[in-house]
Structure 1
Amino acid sequence: MPPFVLRSPEVLLSVPTPADIDRIAVVCTDPAIAEWTTVPSPYTRADAETFVTGMVVDGWARETMFTWAVRAPGRPDGTVLGMMAIGLIPGGPGDAHAGEIGFWTAPDARGRGLTTAAGRLAADWALDPSGLALERLQWRGFEGNWASRRVAWKLGFRYEGLLRRHGVRNGTVCDDWIASLLPEDPREASEPWPQEAPTS
């Protein structure tokens, strides 16, 4: 499947290109991205190059991982403000009819609703019969990643529980949260926002 653009009045999604490598390399050194995602840490320019020219290209070619750079509306080659991906889950219900959403946001783009807008575009495409036609789209986050969980909540993902010792965070086994979105679910928060644990 050749890469394509998704757009709304709030945001534009287009495939990251070699011109984005330096920006991605800088953004992915952010401590929050290192703490809450699975990107390599410490992150180098070589990691960004491998991601853009290898993982992204291969994912689209194999139709197993669909990755977009999040940009402001307008130019498909604008500054990278985040990353959004839909990956297929092997052995999911109905054969390749389950997927997972993943994302990160650059520090200078947080708090503007861009990730939620980008997630809505990607989720709608993944669940639409004319898109991937998935029967289930899931979100997972390391326990304690309230920023990511809030995005999933705004998109209508329904919290399903805690996966004990399911994730690996900075080389340490940890618990994951999991939530799901089905084609018939409303694309808006449909359950109360959980009480965040106090920070020490």
Structure 2
Amino acid sequence: MDKQNFTERNRRDIVAIATQHFAEKGYAGARVDEIAAATATSKRMIYYHFGSKDGLYRAVLTEAYRGIRSAELDAELGDLPPLAALERLTALTFDYHFNHPELVRLVMDENIRGGPHVGEISQGHNEIVLPKTQALIDRGIADGSFRAGLDAVDLHMTISALAFYFVSNRHSFHAIFGVDMTSEAAAERRRAQVIDNVLRYCRAGA
């Protein structure tokens, strides 16, 4: 493949394959030559279009965060009453993590290494989170359905942590307690618990 024939589709395919490798092996274990071998391109072309292994990893991490933020943006929470909107946001966040374990693995590896890239790539993708969460809080407090004193960072962290843990600790939890956290039935049960916890945390009079 020459440089002129390298298309956006080629780029997406490379990022998709690279996502699997970085998620499974971590940044240190992933190899550009193995990624190239699994795609329809060459190691030389990957370096030409992404600059380096680091550049390819940034593209992977950027796409991972873009995916969940796009899902949140498409939720159209403003059309729902605050409690229903919070339920939808919580369910969406839980389902996205459950259906995209590669995101969880990438974030875990990034944090283990001290988060060297996430601050750089978050601009333009993660900046929508807190304003949207704060707008939901403000609406809930204004109509009396949410208690006063809620903080957007705390609420986002609570929802994300509950969704993240169900995926990040599925193997250790299964080994210790014998609980299968990979089945749809387990996910449905836990999703309901997470939604209930978040609503109780925010609801007025709780």
Greater helix share, 1 or 2? 2
Structure possessing the higher radius of gyration over alpha carbons: 2
Higher strand share: 1
Range of TM-score over shorter length: under 0.3
TM-score w.r.t. the length of structure 2 is: 0.26
